[in-house]
Chain A
């Protein structure tokens, strides 16, 4: 088990390193793409700032508070996309038959697919997220007790794990439905957009859906309620605000199970 995991991580590392070396042979192009990526991913924060030109509260939350939600959500999504985002090409691989090549290589298929076309320009989103998070942390009037300070890194790591599990779990749908790529976008990119805004502005059913259904609320909403000292709009027990590690572990289990079921269901196209 441990040996397997180590071998998976090493395969991922080697393949990601290979792609990085190949991209770095065109440094100017890489710099341009990273810049464009930074600009594109900053756009939704620009919209938030423009909204706050017209009001100083959105759903009862101030701009620094929403900046905290934005920074944490964008960091988790961006890092997950950097680490495992390539997996969304699974459907194309099944269609063209190149998945078979992956399966016969002596390295774990999942690790290969996650690292394939690994692109450092995806660092744009996490970098931008960290900048906004840092700004929001300085602008927030929060009361920084030890548990609140500790919850920030826990949130960032668990959020990344949850989004990674959603990327992988969503991609496994493509084993059954080859064109489901966009469906996954609605949970990953759509989910991250949802988490940029405070839970107070959404219908209670929707908030409950991302607590008990697709557990996006554990990425940042629930821990943020504790860190920022905000009341919970749907009145869950306080324990939920600390439960992100548990939610992340369950997501990983579910994604792993889905991945195995998908591989078992896979039949090559014969090409």
Chain B
């Protein structure tokens, strides 16, 4: 094993390490089978309720927001499938970090020979991979069986969608990482977290597609980072974005991902300078 490691160039070691971290997180979440099943059931129940409300709305106003009725219903099922994957509610690595703030283990994390931000990003990607499979497939299937949904035929659209989900997870990570780091200054990020939850649920398009927002809300919502979480991947799935709009959608996600990760990096540097480790 040791010789094996020595033969590799250093960047490859790093890639292997992060892959191992992500795989570990994937496996860790996959042990909560019963809870995952219960969660997928809940997503499906909410999917049914909300799909009927959308049907009623689109019956009253066909073609509202540029969605036809089957696109509107599919919107609900895709967003329910993504809810936990992109952690619109918050959570995932955030719960772990919060617990480590409480116990003081956060200081240990900072002294690990692995980058703090990279470590948690890798665990969150592993978690998201598991949740996409476990909590995405059941609601999507249930929706497709009972309602007139619109699933993409072309494998190209599926590939673009999956890439967009990956970027959505990174943007979501960027946001949650910043919230978590406030723990260094506030000791408890619970308050900020609940405020972020409201903002994220609303501006991600989770409750209502952003294109239905009236007035100035409709103007600012599409440029905020939360649009990268649900609205963009779902619109790509529904093929509402085609041609150049596919690229601009992905570019929007990439820009926010880079900006948020950079901000997280800066905050991390400030925070590590502030940490005082108590002996013992």
B38 and A183 contacting across the interface, CB-CB below 8 Å: yes
A182 to B197: give the CA distance in the assembly, Å: 18
Interface centre among B32, B53, B55, B190 (most CB of A within 10 A): B53
B207 touching A186, Cβ below 8 Å? no
Closest approach, in angstroms, between the C-beta of B276 and any C-beta of chain A? Answer: 24
Nearest CB of chain B from residue A152's CB, rounded to whole Å: 25
Chain B residues near A194 (CB, 8 Å)? 49
Checking B42, B202, B212 against A183 with a beta-carbon cut-off of 8 angstroms, the contacting residue is B42
Q: Which of A163-222 contact B (CB under 8 A)?
A: 177-183, 185-186, 190, 193-194, 197, 200-203, 206
Instruction: Please state if A201 and B35 are interface contacts (CB–CB under 8 Å).
Output: no
Residue of A nearest to B55 (CB): A201
B48 touches A36 (CB 8 A): no
User: What total count of A-B pairs have CB within 8 Å?
Assistant: 93
Distance in angstroms from A145 CB to nearest chain B CB is: 29
| Chain B residues whose CB sits within 8 angstroms of the CB of A197 once the complex forms | 49, 52-53, 56
A36 CB to closest chain B CB (Å) equals: 4
A182 in contact with B60 given A40-B197, A51-B208, A203-B52 (CB within 8 Å): no
Minimum Cβ distance to chain A for residue B77 (Å): 15
Query: Quick one: which of B56, B57, B207, B214 contacts A44, CB cutoff 8 A?
Result: B207
Q: Which residues of A contact B32 (CB under 8 A)?
A: 179
Q: Mostly helix, strand, loop or mixed at chain B's interface?
A: helix
| Contact for A179 among B38, B45, B57, B190, CB less than 8 A | B38
On chain B, the residues within 8 Å of A94 by CB distance are none
Residue A149 lies at the interface, judged by CB distance under 8 Å to chain B: no
Q: Shortest beta-carbon distance, A101 to chain B, in Å?
A: 22
Partner among B34, B42, B56, B61 whose Cβ is within 8 Å of the Cβ of A186: B42
Chain B residues near A1: list those with CB within 8 A.
none
Q: Which of A33, A55, A181 has the most CB of B within 10 A?
A: A55
Is A29 among interface residues, defined by CB-CB distance under 8 A?
Answer: yes
**Known contacts A43-B198, A51-B208, A193-B46: A59-B56 contact under CB 8 Å:** yes
Which chain A positions have C-beta within 8 A of B49? 190, 193-194, 197, 202
Give complex CA distance A46, B195 in Å: 16
Q: Could you tell me which residues of chain A, from 58 to 115, have a CB within 8 Å of some CB in chain B?
A: 58-59
A14 within 8 A of B: no
Q: Does B157 contact A (CB under 8 A)?
A: no
Within 8 A of A (CB), among B165-205: 190-191, 194-195, 197-198, 201-202
Closest to A200 in B: B56
B101 on the A face (CB < 8 A): no
Looking at chain A's contact residues, is the secondary structure mostly helix, strand, loop, or mixed? helix
Would you list which residues of chain B between 42 and 93 have a CB under 8 Å from chain A?
A: 42, 45-46, 48-50, 52-53, 55-57, 60-61, 64
B window 119-146: CB within 8 A of A: none
**B64 and A201 contact, CB distance less than 8 A:** no
B29 interface residue (CB < 8 Å to A): no
Residues of B within 8 A of A200 (CB): 56
- Report how far A247 CA is from B41 CA in the complex, Å: 26
Contact flags (1/0) for A19-38 with B, using CB distance below 8 Å?
00000000001001100110
Across the interface, which residues of B come within 8 angstroms of A33, CB to CB? 190-191, 194
B64 contacts A54, C-beta separation under 8 Å: yes
Identify 7 new A-B residue pairs, CB closer than 8 A, beyond the known A55-B61, A190-B49.
A40-B194, A40-B198, A57-B60, A59-B56, A177-B38, A179-B34, A186-B45
Query: B residues touching A (Cβ–Cβ < 8 Å)?
Result: 32, 34-35, 38-39, 41-42, 45-46, 48-50, 52-53, 55-57, 60-61, 64, 190-191, 194-195, 197-198, 201-202, 207-208, 212-214
Closest 3 CB pairs of A and B: A179-B35, A201-B56, A55-B60
Interface residues of A (CB under 8 A from B): 29, 32-33, 36-37, 39-40, 43-44, 46-47, 50-51, 53-55, 57-59, 177-183, 185-186, 190, 193-194, 197, 200-203, 206
